[in-house]
């Protein structure tokens, strides 16, 4: 499934992802991908279905991984009567691509996506990339998408919004565990999409869905093997 979706244009890439069954929840999940040009985020071959380096040992994840993450989190990102203003946290926002795509989905009734990066230069990169489109600029001005510098292993609490939890948490780098603070900040109900390096099994990294139901009961479901850059301490001086 990994590399078949490459194309010569953003539209072709999204069409191929849909054709290959990687974007299933049409039209809701395909629409935001078509609205965000990956060329604003990937420095080279933006329409290849592969990860690309973006500096500072970070990579923009492959389109099929972004598609898969959105599919997984979609029920918690889309506004509904019960959740008119979804709140989404993107840990390790890197290029800002997925942060922007998710901001397309949260609606305009107060939905928010916050990207957290531990490298200030990458926080600036992500924010600058979002600024490259008119819609991105509008989202930034409205506070619908926000970029912050911090250690995402602690999750993130927005100043002035301390009581508010996250309906969906996307983690874009591999964690050694499901960090307690992140889990505490997940709403009930809510879902976290997180690559975890499962050392104990020696089987390497896997995507986990960590679901909290309305009563706060947590269920972890192991999905499939992946290779993400690790969630680490910030390099010194960054």
Q: How far is the CB of 37 from ligand SAH (least distance, A)?
A: 14
Which of 32, 46, 86, 172 is the binder for ligand SAH (CB under 6 A)? Answer: 172
Angle at 61 between CA 56 and CA 63, to 5 degrees: 150
Find where tokens 């939890």 sit.
165
Residue 233 DSSP one-character state? P
Nearer Cβ to ligand SAH (83/91): 91
| Rounded distance between C-alpha atoms, residue 106 and residue 29, angstroms | 11
Kindly state the tokens that stand for 121: 């230069």
CB 53 within 8 A of CB 62: no
Give me the least distance between CB of 59 and ligand SAH, in Å please: 5
Determine if 198 is a binding residue for ligand SAH (CB under 6 A).
no
Which of 5, 61, 93, 95 does the annotation list as catalytic? 61
- Residue from 48, 49, 117, 127 touching ligand SAH (CB under 6 A): that is 117
Residue 125 vs residues 3, 34, 54, 63, 119: alpha-carbon distances, Å: 26, 21, 9, 19, 10
Task: State yes or no: is 44 an active-site residue.
Answer: no
| CB neighbours of residue 216 within 10 Å | 10
Using CB under 6 A as the binding rule, whether residue 73 contacts ligand SAH is answered as no
Span 37-66, contacts to ligand SAH by CB under 6 A = 56, 58-61
Return all residues near 197 (Cβ < 8 A) that are at least 6 apart.
174, 175, 176, 204, 205, 230
232 binds ligand SAH (CB under 6 A): yes
Single out the residue of 151, 177, 197, 211 in contact with ligand SAH (rule: CB under 6 A). Answer: 151
Where does this chain touch ligand SAH (CB under 6 A) — which range of 18-26, 75-83, 145-153, 207-215? 145-153
Q: How many residues bind ligand SAH (CB under 6 A)?
A: 25
Decide: is 167 part of the binding site for ligand SAH (CB under 6 A).
no
What CA dihedral angle connects 158, 161, 163 and 167, to 10 degrees?
Answer: -70
Residues that bind ligand SAH (CB under 6 A): 56, 58-61, 91-95, 97-98, 116-119, 122, 151-153, 172-173, 229, 231-232
């Amino acid at each position: 499934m990994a590399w078949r979706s490459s194309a010569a244009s953003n539209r072709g890439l999204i069409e191929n992802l849909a054709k290959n069954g990687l974007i299933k929840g049409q039209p809701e999940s395909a629409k935001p991908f078509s609205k965000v040009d990956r060329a604003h985020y990937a420095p080279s071959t933006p329409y290849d279905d592969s990860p690309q380096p973006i500096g500072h040992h970070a990579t923009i994840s492959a389109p099929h991984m972004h598609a898969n993450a959105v599919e997984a989190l979609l029920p918690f990102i889309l506004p509904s009567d019960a959740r008119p203003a979804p709140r989404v946290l993107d840990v390790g926002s890197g290029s800002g691509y997925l942060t922007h795509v998710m901001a397309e989905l949260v609606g305009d009734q107060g939905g928010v996506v916050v990207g957290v990066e531990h490298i200030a230069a990458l926080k600036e990169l992500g924010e600058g990339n979002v600024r490259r489109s008119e819609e991105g600029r509008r989202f930034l001005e409205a506070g619908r998408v926000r970029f912050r510098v911090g250690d995402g292993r602690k999750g993130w609490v927005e100043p002035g919004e301390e009581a508010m939890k996250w309906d969906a948490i996307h983690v874009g780098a591999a964690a050694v565990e499901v960090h307690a603070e992140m889990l505490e900040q997940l709403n009930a109900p809510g879902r976290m999409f997180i690559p975890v390096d499962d050392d104990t099994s020696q089987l390497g990294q896997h995507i986990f869905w960590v679901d909290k139901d309305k009563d706060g009961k947590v269920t972890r479901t192991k999905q499939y093997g992946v290779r993400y850059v690790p969630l680490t301490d910030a390099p010194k001086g960054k």
